[in-house]
């Protein structure tokens, strides 16, 4: 589908909030194509909505892209010879094209007030027609315009939509999509404050930045005919379009905060790894050839193809993200996960924000003990009490009951004795120690391991005992046994 010319794709976020999961997926699909074809990935800021745009959002979006590892080749912060890359800094470029359209009669000034427009919309709705602008100001004379200007009215500029035209789009994902120009009223391309609208600026930018493929969310499909008309009116070379489907929540309604966090930074803050999020985002709409679900960014660059991007909506499945994330947590270098875990652990109050080397070493042991059991790095903190508190907290009555079994005093006494006598506490030593414990007492494993586990952790499930005991150390084992048995009465 994609010709081998140098491809230039772009991600063009509006900085009106943090980078959204859907936006990140659009960025990713563009990024993957750019890398696959050794093309150029451009990032441009679309901030023509002055009210809603802000620098904080812009910074969040760019930081999130970098965190995900999708660095761009050209654009905002990077520069390039087709800049500036922020729309509010390109106003003189837009003006040139607006003037051209005005001169050719393909655009005109409109002085209609909000009230008049509202009335028109209501009247059309009442007749069961699509609300649209019917072109009242299309035929204003020069004299009428002057007169309106003298009354202090500030005009907008509207694009004159050709009558009776079918607009065909060959979408790389959706196939042929057609629109009738008659359903589109003459739309605003420059607002009364002189700022162009998205539908106009995006065309000028994509054309002047030599963008070859526009890959974006399906919510923009209905904008595309409006944009195509402007390419045609100005005789600009048109890019290929690919509209990727919406992301729905598990209940099949549009993904929103109700379904969980929607911003990339929220996942970062919960201890999801960028590799995992990238892997997960790729599968939101794209399906690989085989059954494999784990893809590094390099795998994706090799295998991604728009041919395998589905038309039907993608469903955001948090369980799947957790599954993928836990895979990457198990695979990553221990030190990396430990570093990510520190802020979460320090929130629990047991660990300093900047642990020294000794403390860091202990933390890597804790992470090693628990990382098979977590979906995100924040969950490391769920185990903080076990490793740092002097007090055992029973997870429930059932756990407490375990310690009331008759063999327990014997088990714990012998365990403590053996731990105290051990020369060093390593996993190997503990494994052997627990084995000899069951043997000497002549008890089944469960009658030994469960009470030991509950006495040390207060819980009936958790990390391996041979991981826990070396971390607790002799003192820790003694104190925690004292704490848990002291609570039985």
Q: Which is nearer to ligand GLU, 7 or 469 (CB)?
A: 7
**What is the number of other CB atoms lying within 10 angstroms of the CB of residue 476?**
21
| Cα 426 → chain centroid | 41
Q: Which is nearer to ligand GLU, 46 or 58 (CB)?
A: 46
**Binding track, positions 27-46, relative to ligand GLU; x by CB under 6 A:** -------------------x
DSSP 312: S
Least distance between ligand GLU and beta carbon 220 (Å) = 5
Task: End-to-end CA distance of the chain: give it in Å, rounded.
Answer: 74
Question: Which of 257, 302, 311, 439 is flagged as catalytic?
Answer: 257
Among 7, 8, 14, 332, binds ligand GLU (CB under 6 A): 14
**What is the number of other CB atoms lying within 10 angstroms of the CB of residue 479?**
16
Q: Which is nearer to ligand GLU, 93 or 318 (CB)?
A: 93
**Is 213 among the residues that bind ligand GLU (CB under 6 A)?**
no
**Is 216 among the residues that bind ligand GLU (CB under 6 A)?**
yes
Q: In the range 44-63, which residues lie near ligand GLU by CB under 6 A?
A: 46
Counts for the chain of helices (H) and strands (E), in that order: 19, 12
Give CA–CA dist 411/409, Å, rounded. 6
Q: Which is nearer to ligand GLU, 84 or 355 (CB)?
A: 84
Burial (CB count within 10 angstroms: exposed 0-12, middle 13-18, buried 19+), residue 421:
exposed
Pairing of strands 40-43, 74-75: parallel
Least distance between ligand GLU and beta carbon 456 (Å) = 52
Q: Which is nearer to ligand GLU, 61 or 408 (CB)?
A: 61
Burial (CB count within 10 angstroms: exposed 0-12, middle 13-18, buried 19+), residue 76:
buried
Least distance between ligand GLU and beta carbon 207 (Å) = 12
**Is 202 among the residues that bind ligand GLU (CB under 6 A)?**
yes
How many alpha carbons fall within 13 Å on the CB side of residue 45? 28
* Count of chain residues binding ligand GLU (CB under 6 A): 7
Pairing of strands 175-180, 166-171: antiparallel
Instruction: Say whether 257 is catalytic.
Output: yes
**Is 13 among the residues that bind ligand GLU (CB under 6 A)?**
yes
Q: Give the SS3 label for residue 263.
A: strand
**Is 191 among the residues that bind ligand GLU (CB under 6 A)?**
no
Q: Name the site residues for ligand GLU (rule: CB under 6 A).
A: 12-14, 46, 202, 216, 220
Residues carrying an active site annotation = 257
């Amino acid at each position: 589908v994609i010709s081998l010319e140098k491809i230039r794709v772009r991600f063009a976020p509006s900085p009106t909030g943090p980078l959204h999961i859907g936006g990140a997926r659009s960025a990713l699909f563009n990024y993957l194509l750019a890398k696959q074809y050794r093309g150029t990935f451009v990032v441009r800021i679309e901030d023509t909505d002055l009210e809603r745009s802000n620098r904080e959002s812009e910074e969040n979006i760019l930081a999130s892209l970098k965190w995900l590892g999708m660095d761009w080749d050209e654009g905002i912060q990077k520069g390039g010879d087709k800049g500036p890359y922020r729309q509010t800094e390109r106003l003189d470029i837009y003006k040139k094209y607006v003037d051209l359209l005005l001169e050719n009669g393909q655009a005109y000034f409109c002085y209609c007030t909000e009230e008049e427009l509202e009335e028109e919309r209501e009247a059309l709705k009442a007749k069961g027609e699509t609300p649209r602008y019917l072109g009242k100001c299309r035929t204003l004379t020069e004299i009428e315009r002057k007169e309106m200007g003298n009354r202090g009215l500030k005009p907008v500029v509207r694009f004159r939509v050709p009558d009776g035209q079918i607009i065909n789009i060959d979408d790389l994902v959706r196939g042929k999509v057609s629109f009738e120009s008659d359903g589109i009223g003459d739309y605003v391309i420059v607002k009364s404050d002189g700022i162009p609208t998205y539908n106009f600026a995006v065309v000028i930018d994509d054309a002047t930045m030599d963008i070859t493929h526009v890959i974006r969310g399906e919510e923009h499909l209905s904008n595309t005919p409006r944009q195509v008309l402007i390419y045609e009116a100005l005789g600009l070379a048109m890019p290929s379009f690919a509209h990727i489907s919406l992301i729905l929540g598990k209940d099949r309604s549009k993904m929103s905060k109700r379904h969980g966090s929607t911003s990339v930074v929220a996942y970062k803050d919960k201890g999801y790894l960028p590799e995992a999020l990238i892997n997960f985002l790729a599968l939101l709409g794209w399906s690989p050839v085989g059954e494999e679900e784990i893809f590094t960014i390099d795998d994706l660059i090799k295998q991604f193809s728009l041919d395998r991007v589905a038309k039907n909506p993608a469903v955001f499945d948090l369980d799947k993200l957790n599954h993928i994330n836990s895979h990457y947590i198990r695979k990553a270098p221990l030190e990396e996960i430990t570093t990510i875990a520190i802020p979460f652990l320090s929130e629990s109050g047991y660990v300093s924000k900047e642990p020294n080397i000794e403390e860091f070493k202990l933390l890597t042991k804790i992470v090693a003990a628990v990382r098979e059991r977590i979906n995100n790095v924040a969950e490391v903190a769920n185990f903080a009490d076990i490793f740092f508190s002097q007090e055992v907290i029973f997870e429930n009555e059932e756990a407490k009951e375990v310690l009331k079994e008759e063999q327990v005093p014997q088990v714990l006494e012998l365990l403590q004795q053996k731990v105290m006598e051990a020369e060093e506490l390593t996993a190997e030593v503990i494994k052997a120690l627990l084995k000899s414990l069951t043997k000497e007492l002549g008890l089944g494993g469960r009658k030994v391991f469960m009470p030991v586990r509950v006495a040390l952790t207060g819980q009936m499930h958790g990390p391996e005992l041979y991981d826990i005991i070396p971390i607790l150390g002799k003192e820790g084992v003694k104190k925690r046994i004292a704490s848990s048995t002291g609570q039985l009465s």
